[in-house]
Amino acid sequence: MRFVTVRELRSRSAEVWRRLAEEQEIVITSNGKPVAILSGVSADGLEESLSALRRARAVAAVDAMQRQSVAAGRHGLTRPQVNAQIAAARKGRAR
């Protein structure tokens, strides 16, 4: 996987697009930290690629919520305890 800085993307975009066609994925960095992923797609596979990306993000979000639950000690709650937590959160929400 290749890493490209935002500055390089701006100044040498034609080369970056050429590399993307060859490698299919490029990570864009800013100040040394990843900020985006460029992924090569075809017109025929665009919807499938977007769907796969959305599914991957959903799975990652669920994994993060599960880790937070374990870290907060809420992973062993019973169904009535979960329902009580939901009711309390809903009650505390401004309408």
* Eight-state DSSP code of residue 93: S
**Tell me: the pLDDT tens digits for 4-22?**
999 999 999 999 999 998 9
**Tell me: the pLDDT tens digits for 27-49?**
999 999 999 999 998 899 999 99
Identify the CA nearest to 60 among candidates 92, 85, 33, 37: 37
- 52/58 Cα distance (integer angstroms): 10
Q: Model-level pTM greater than 0.85?
A: no
